[in-house]
Structure 1
């Protein structure tokens, strides 16, 4: 006796929503790749050389980008508070606001009062708080624009829990890159986490049978990396660290998403990666920045 329920040919525990327009096999929403007419399965999408994809191919019916909106709101509130305190517009000047000096990322340095500050001095919260501080209106404006574009695509595809876990992993990965490359330079901004989202989007397209180089995402990544290395004052460690962290976490998250509907395994995996990166931040701050701070203090 048959039940009449058709399941996805790739995920036998999931109900098929449509059939592939090219091969006719039943596919679930996770396997649906939009085509010029209907939907294709991942295999047919890879085989169709004439097909052009965009970031919209990542969309899935799982709600609006609420977490993205909350993250943007948090960044805006912190920026306004820092601006009122007198630090956001002149963060790199000799005088810092209490908010910016308390929250910026640095492995080891001397504060405005001449006392040591930084992750190496036990101020571990800087690993996270630095990702919500920005050095001026243009800085936060550009970061929040890109966060909205990426978040509005990735969050509906991943779900809120997985997207937030991925964002936080990318943020800590960016901090780890900063503490490895420039541990004594005060650093702020959400760009490390945003580069992580770019890496995750790259992983998402690969996992769903989309060629990132043909969709335009690969070129966008290369362009941003060129800007990172070519323009002075941009955190190379933060951008590259966030990108690599997001790429790794993204591959893990989307592979797990193919195997289970539950968000728990992906969140746990991101948490595990974040813990490793966090330990790396503490190690890098102590082993790379402390000797430099000792030299500065002795002069």
Structure 2
């Protein structure tokens, strides 16, 4: 077994039997804890818990397009989705992910779930590039809006009582999340980018891939690739420190 295959095999077996939603939540919590610890060492006090300085967020993987396009720090297009601008920001995002994620993960499987999550996270940050390229972006909300947009579209196609009920449930969360984003002054361009890209994927993705082995294999491989890319990106965060 070659080296890349060994890493993918390890990731596959690490995820098996575990909830991907839980892994995502734990990863977000762990990165926020590191931000808080760093801020505490710098003597920032309680400020770092509720409103970390922008330079600290950039230090821990926040998305800043000049560093991506000019500095080659490509991993920020992924790590920004695991960095949060305070305890309230983190808490609301993780609450929504916990509410909408498990049902969808059970419905479509972890590999398709992670593919949707990461593709819409990337779409969200690209939307932010066109809207405000000089602004630092952090948070999982773009990807979470992607999951919601996907769910609304996907369950609408399923139809029936259960499909419509789940679609409406997801739509309610979309409204609440948008309102929350307006209240805290969040990046609603990224939210919209995530929502629309998720809806497009939900409209395209096969409802049932039973018997369609080629499509099943595509999502299985893409899920493993995104899992590997996420791990590698987070491990790349210290590389930005060396560039300073």
Q: Equivalent of 1:235, from 172, 187, 202? A: 187
Q: Alpha-carbon deviations, 1:3-32, whole Å to 9, x = none? A: xxxxxxxxxxxxxxxxxxxxxxxxxxxxxx
| Equivalent position of 1:203 in the other structure | 153
Q: Is the 8 A contact 1:200 1:249 kept in 2?
A: yes
CA distance 1:214–1:124, shift in 2 (3 Å): closer
* Gap runs ≥5 in structure 2: 1-15, 41-47, 227-244
- How high is the TM-score relative to the length of structure 1? 0.58
Q: 1:106, 1:119 within 8 Å by CA — same for their partners in 2?
A: no
Residue 101 of structure 1 pairs with residue 59 of structure 2: yes
- Matched with 2:9 is none
Which of 114, 133, 144 is the equivalent residue of 1:183? Answer: 133
Q: How many residues align?
A: 199
Where does residue 45 of structure 2 map in the other structure? Answer: none
Aligned partner of residue 234 in structure 1, secondary structure: coil
Distance 1:150 1:214 in 2: 11
1:82 alignment partner in structure 2: 35
Corresponding residue for residue 253 of structure 1: 205
Q: Deviations over 1:79-108 (max 9, x none)?
A: 101111118534345xx33x6425111112
Q: 1:173 corresponds to which residue? A: 123
Q: Normalising by structure 2, what TM-score?
A: 0.70
CA contact (8 A) 1:127 1:175 kept: yes
**2:168 pairs with 215, 238, 244, which one?**
215
Is the radius of gyration larger for structure 1 or structure 2?
1
Contact 1:249 1:270 in 2 (8 A): no
Listed as ranges, the gaps of 5+ residues in structure 1 are: 1-62, 109-116, 275-299
Residue 211 (structure 1) shift? 3.2
| 1:208-256 deviation digits (Å, cap 9, x = unpaired) | 113369834334434433554x435210121011111111122222446
Query: Which stretches of structure 1, 4 residues or longer, exceed 6 Å deviation after superposition?
Result: 268-271
Structure 2 partner of 1:52: none
1:129 aligns with 2:105: no
Root-mean-square deviation (Å):
3.0
Structure number having the greater helix percentage: 2
Alignment of structure 1 residues 59-70 onto 2, 5 Å: 66-70=19-23
Contact residue 124 and residue 192 of structure 2 kept, 8 A? yes
- After superposition, the Cα gap between the structure-2 partners of 1:152 and 1:204, relative to the gap in structure 1 and judged at 3 Å, is same
Distance in 1, Cα, partners of 2:167 & 2:149: 16
**Greater share of strand:** 1
Cα distance in 2 between the residues matched to 1:69 and 1:142: 15
1:152 aligned to 87, 92, 102, which one? 102
